[in-house]
Chains A and B, each alone.
Chain A
Amino acid sequence: LEALERVLVRARQGDTEALSMLYNQFLHGIFGYIAMRVPDRATAEDLTSEVFLQMVEGIHRLRANDEAGFTAWLLCIARVAVAGYYRQREKQPTQVPLPDESWDHTKTERLMISASSPESDPVYWTEAREDWLTVVQAINALTEEQRQVLVGRLILGYDVATVARIIGKKVNAVKALQFRALQSLQRLLGNQQSLAHAHQRRKEEIR
Chain B
Amino acid sequence: MKPLHDRLNDRLEHIELRNWQNGHHPSDFMLQEPRHEGDPEVDALVVLARRLRVAPHMQVDKDFAGRLERRMLHRHTELQLQRTNEKRSFFFQFRTLPAFGVALCLCLIMLVLGAGVLALAAHISDPNNQLYALKRWEQHLQVSLTNNAGDQAFLDLQIARDRLNTLSDLTDPAHTVAYSQALADIDQQLQTATAAINGLPTGTQRQQLASKLSGLKSDAIHILRNLLPKLTLSERLATTGELTHLGDNVPLLINGMLILPPHPHGRATISLSGSDLQPGAQLLVDGKPAGVTGLLQNGRLIFVVVNWKGEQHPRSLGLIDPDGTAVQTTAITIETANGNTTSKSNHNGQGNSHQPTTTPDTPQNGQSSCPGLPDAQELASKYQLSADSQGAAVLAICALHRGTFKATTSNGTTVTASRVYGYGEIDQLLTYAQYLASQDATNPGGKLSDTNVSSYLAEALLNCGSTPLATCLQTHIPNYQPGNGTGQGNGHQPTATPTPHH
Contacts and interface: CB of A to CB of B under 8 A. Distances in A.
Contacts of A20: 69, 73
Contact of B48 (A14, A160, A186, A205): A186
B48 A195 contact: yes
Interface string B371-399: 00000000000000000000000000000
B6 interface: yes
A178 B56 contact: no
A32 interface: yes
B45 interface: yes
Interface in A172-195: 172, 175-176, 178-180, 182-183, 185-186, 189, 192, 195
B65 to A, nearest CB: 6
A175 B61 CA distance: 31
A189 to B, nearest CB: 8
A154 B57 contact: no
Residue from A104, A135, A154, A192 with most neighbouring chain B CB atoms (10 Å): A154
A178 B51 contact: no
Interface in A49-65: 49, 52-53, 55-57, 60
A35 interface: yes
A182 B76 contact: no
Contacts of B12: 153, 178
Given A179-B8, A182-B45, A195-B52, A27 B58 contact: no
A19 B77 CA distance: 11
Contact of A53 (B13, B18, B45, B71): B71
B60 interface: yes
Interface in B49-81: 49, 51-58, 60-61, 64-65, 68-69, 71-73, 75-77, 79-80
Contacts of A198: 55-57
B502 interface: no
B77 to A, nearest CB: 8
A14 B80 contact: yes
Contacts of B56: 103-104, 198, 202, 205
B52 A23 contact: no
A153 B51 CA distance: 14
Interface string B1-22: 0001110110011000110110
A70 interface: no
A195 B20 contact: no
A35 B57 contact: yes
Contacts of A183: 45
Contacts of B65: 27
Contacts, number: 122
A192 B13 contact: no
A36 B61 CA distance: 15
A15 B4 CA distance: 45
Given A31-B58, A31-B60, A153-B17, A57 B68 contact: no
Nearest to A171: B9
Residue of B27, B52, B60 with most chain A CB atoms under a 10 A cut-off = B52
Contacts of B75: 53, 56-57
A60 to B, nearest CB: 8
A53 B71 CA distance: 8
Contacts of A195: 48, 51-52, 55
Interface in B132-162: none
A19 B44 CA distance: 39
B47 interface: yes
30 contacts: A14-B80, A31-B60, A32-B58, A36-B57, A45-B64, A49-B68, A56-B72, A103-B56, A103-B57, A135-B52, A153-B49, A154-B53, A155-B58, A157-B20, A157-B21, A160-B9, A160-B13, A172-B5, A178-B8, A179-B8, A182-B45, A185-B52, A186-B45, A189-B48, A195-B48, A195-B52, A195-B55, A198-B56, A199-B55, A202-B56
For the complex of A and B, 6 pairs with smallest distance between CB atoms: A179-B5, A157-B18, A182-B45, A175-B5, A154-B53, A32-B58
Given A32-B58, A103-B57, A154-B52, 16 more contacts: A27-B68, A36-B57, A41-B57, A49-B71, A60-B83, A103-B56, A132-B55, A132-B57, A135-B55, A150-B52, A159-B13, A175-B6, A175-B9, A178-B12, A186-B45, A202-B55
